[in-house]
Amino acid sequence: MHLSVDGAEVYAHTGGRPFDPHRPAAAFVHGAGLDHTVWALQARYVAHHGWSVLAPDLPGHGRSAGKAPVSVAALAEWIVKLLDAAGARRAALIGHSMGAAACLEAAARHSARVAKLALLGCAARMQVHPDLIAAAENDPALAREMIVDWAHGPRGRIGGNPAPGLSIAHAARRLIDYAGAGGVLAQDLKACDAWAGGAEAAANVACPTLLILGAEDRMTPAKAGRALAGAIKGAELAVLPECGHMMMVEQPDLTLDRLRKFLGAA
Amino acid sequence: MAAPKHPRFATLSLHAGQQPDPATGARAVPIYQTTSYVFDDTDHAASLFNLERPGFIYSRISNPTVAVLEERLAALEGGVGAVCTASGQAALHLAIVTLMGQGGHIVASASLYGGSVNLFAHTLPRFGISTTFVKPRDLDGFRKAIRPETRLVFAEVLGNPGLEVLNIPAVAEIAHKARLPLMLDSTFATPYLCRPFEHGADIVMHSATKWLGGHGVAIAGALIEAGRFDWERSGLFPTLTEPYAGYHGIDFAEEFGPQAFVMRARAEGLRDFGACMAPATAFYILQGVETLPVRMERHVANTRRILEFLKTASEVGWVVHPELPEHPDHALAKKLLPRGAGSIVSFGIKGGREAGRAFIERVEVFSHLANVGDAKSLVIHPASTTHQQMDAGQLKAAGVGEDMIRMSVGLEDADDLIDDLKQALRAAVKG
């Protein structure tokens, strides 16, 4: 569906079911240079099991107008405005990478709006190597190749995708070309790199929280994710085997199983 | 930060799409000879059927052995996904029915495999889908043939049997300007010799029966998607951008983004038309794909030796191959097929139809049969076999002369192949 947030038209996928603000809401927030399609399976499952789903394309990404958020804090505020636009008083927030950082900030700043928090591929700092930022600004194809290499575990590099016949690596290439075009990827990476509020936000989270990490994640290593989990009161932790940074596509079943257990019945 | 590293072609040929079997640790790809798969519970079953989880339901739709081949071919072509089919013709049919229905129109190169010509010219019109044929070098012809109801531009990378090299970037630009995808049959090239997606193609099909398998033991096809075509922006493909009642109103482009086409081809096309690949067939083709780079190098080397011989043979009137400097597409072949322009050679034997027949009956190492891309060398007389359904006009448009011999150069010792050609040519011309 299409919503208006900050005066710009936003596309939000609803998992194949109409969004009903009277049902419990779950918002899936994608990471840098991506769009809602990274959540295709999980969003569809959750939407068909009693939840109202919002899986937006962030501003400037994919089908959404506007400019890419200038900071993680700005994206956190945007998420709350998205809930307003959809008529959702509270929602479970499920974020990946940059989207997870923004969901963490939103949960800390707007505790009344966030029922549950699931953070995938997240750490208290999301520093980005200056070479990658430089490539995203000057040579997007090189940046794309760096991300495809660094973001994936064995199923992304060689294959063995649980989804029959689909290539994880090449789908990532085409998605970054599409959703991260026009400087969007570079802006996202700079926002991640500049984010310094993770530790403070972690201390202020009051809702039930789950972290899902990839055992072979080279972008947000599991060690850093464990430290973040330790800083959030009562946080649950799942480290997925044979998995890099893109757990929703590399280990879609394990990711969904942990999410559905955490979210519980709608 | 370290430079990005990705597995290269030869490594992908052996490994792409496979993790060692989780149940047994088997290194080779196991043949999962099963029709169906046990569900964990009713919720698991329902979520598989509703595309909420990945996995296997029934082998007409997907199978673990076939899935390894699909992912491997996608990796070799640089595509976002693949669907393997019962044959190359099944792959072509699957692509067409995924993109259009009654009233649809195709612009196709006239230089195609005879079976594809039959499908376009004689069979699809019964279902309301028409085709305009264009000479493969006639770029303006492609442009002019596109109509409001056109939904696909189709050609072969290397035309059959004339061996025209398609100007892929130019034809892709024409298609894209008309908001249409370009689909190529890349059977003669294989991804080792040409990667059409790098030149602008949107969909590639293979008769995997040929060089991908290489052994001539299994009929097989594949359909691969580049993932670059924006179906939504095109606005011409409701099968991919509008709700589909066959899956609870799913919108494939919205749900699956760059993989919309292969997802619809599988979810609807394999489910409803059913031209799936058998698991044992996938295993056979995988054995071939493992050695594809090594075999293609030998195919190309042998072809070059045979071209040298044919150019000097007094019984030969003409030789066509894109690697010959006099071929009209020589420069284009160097650009699009830098490792070699394939192992199909067409030549004309002096003495016309009768000499051609005599030649084919005298060869001993070469086999006379209706196939190409085997490890064994093959010859055929197209006018009386693969292209026999064509009338004189279509034959001329397809570049098939009555004296034409089409040769598929195999992996035997090149000297033995040349000796065989020498004796058969001598005998044929003597009469």
Is the pLDDT at A124 greater than 80? The verdict is yes
Is the pLDDT at A248 greater than 70? The verdict is yes
Q: Give me the residues paired with residue B140 across strands.
A: none
Tell me what the pLDDT averaged over chain B comes to: 95
Task: For residue B387, give the 3-state DSSP assignment.
Answer: coil
Give domain limits for chain B.
30-288, 292-430
Distances (CA, A) of B340 to B192, B308, B362: 9, 15, 29
Q: How many CB atoms lie within 10 A of CB A72?
A: 27
Identify the CATH class of B292-430. alpha beta
Please write the tens of the pLDDT for every residue from B369-415. Answer: 988 999 999 999 877 777 677 766 776 766 778 788 999 999 999 99
Burial B368-378 (b: 16+ CB within 10 A, else e): eeebbbbbbbb
List the single residue in B with minimal CA-CA distance to A132: B1
**What CATH fold (topology level) applies to the domain B30-288?**
Aspartate Aminotransferase; domain 2 (3.40.640)
Is the pLDDT at A15 greater than 90? The verdict is yes
- pLDDT for position A184: 98
- pLDDT for position B247: 87
Q: Which residues have a Cβ under 8 Å from the Cβ of B175 and sit 6 or more positions away? A: B142, B146, B153, B181, B182, B202
Task: Give CA–CA dist B25/B33, Å, rounded.
Answer: 17
Ramachandran category for residue B399: left, alpha or beta (phi over 0 → left; psi -120 to 50 → alpha): left
Across the interface, whether the CB atoms of B6 and A169 are under 8 A apart is answered: yes
User: Are A55 and A12 within 8 A, CB to CB?
Assistant: yes
Residues in chain B: 431
Is the pLDDT at A217 greater than 80? The verdict is yes
- Comparing CA positions, the residue from B236, B57, B121 lying closest to residue A164 is B57
Please write the tens of the pLDDT for every residue from A69-98. Answer: 999 999 999 999 999 999 999 999 999 999
Please write the tens of the pLDDT for every residue from B295-305. Answer: 999 999 999 99
Of the partner residues A37, A62, A162, the one whose CB lies closest to the CB of residue B55: A162
Identify the CATH class of A2-263. alpha beta
Quote the minimal CA–CA distance from B190 to chain A in Å. Answer: 18
**Looking up tokens 């403070």, which residue turns up?**
A200
- pLDDT for position B357: 84
- Which parts of A29-139 fold into alpha helices (H)? 40-47, 72-86, 98-109, 130-138
- pLDDT for position B416: 98
What's the pLDDT band for A112 if we cut at 50, 70, 90? Answer: very high
From chain A, the residues in CB contact with B66 under 8 A are 164-165
Q: Which residues have a Cβ under 8 Å from the Cβ of A213 and sit 6 or more positions away? A: A120, A121, A122, A220, A222, A225, A226, A237, A238, A239, A240, A247
- pLDDT for position B392: 65
Task: Give CA–CA dist A245/A122, Å, rounded.
Answer: 9
Give domain limits for chain A.
2-263
User: Would you say the ipTM is above 0.85?
Assistant: yes
| Average of per-residue pLDDT across A191-208 | 97
Of the partner residues B6, B83, B250, the one whose CB lies closest to the CB of residue A149: B6
Task: For residue B178, give the 3-state DSSP assignment.
Answer: coil
Across the interface, whether the CB atoms of B52 and A48 are under 8 A apart is answered: yes
Distances (CA, A) of B55 to B46, B50, B142: 12, 11, 41
Across the interface, whether the CB atoms of B80 and A145 are under 8 A apart is answered: no
Of the partner residues B6, B83, B256, the one whose CB lies closest to the CB of residue A165: B83
Across the interface, whether the CB atoms of A253 and B54 are under 8 A apart is answered: yes
List the single residue in A with minimal CA-CA distance to B14: A158
From chain A, the residues in CB contact with B52 under 8 A are 41, 44-45, 48, 256
- pLDDT for position B400: 75
| Average of per-residue pLDDT across A32-42 | 97
User: Are A21 and A84 within 8 A, CB to CB?
Assistant: no
User: pLDDT under 70 in chain B at which residues?
Assistant: 387, 391-392, 395, 397-398, 431
DSSP state of B127: G
The counts of H helices and E strands in chain A are 12, 8
Across the interface, whether the CB atoms of B19 and A160 are under 8 A apart is answered: yes
Task: Give CA–CA dist B207/A222, Å, rounded.
Answer: 44
The predicted model scores a pTM of: 0.96
- pLDDT for position B430: 79
Task: Give CA–CA dist A119/A208, Å, rounded.
Answer: 11
Task: For residue B296, give the 3-state DSSP assignment.
Answer: helix
List the single residue in A with minimal CA-CA distance to B70: A165
Which is more confidently placed, A52 or B355? A52
A141 token code pair: 């194809």
Task: For residue B93, give the 3-state DSSP assignment.
Answer: helix
Give me the sheet containing B344-349, strands edge to edge.
B316-320, B344-349, B404-408, B378-380, B367-368
Of the partner residues A41, A164, A166, the one whose CB lies closest to the CB of residue B56: A164
Quote the minimal CA–CA distance from A32 to chain B in Å. Answer: 16
Is the pLDDT at A100 greater than 90? The verdict is yes
- pLDDT for position B398: 65
Q: DSSP letter string over A208-239?
A: -EEEEEETT-SSS-HHHHHHHHHHSTT-EEEE
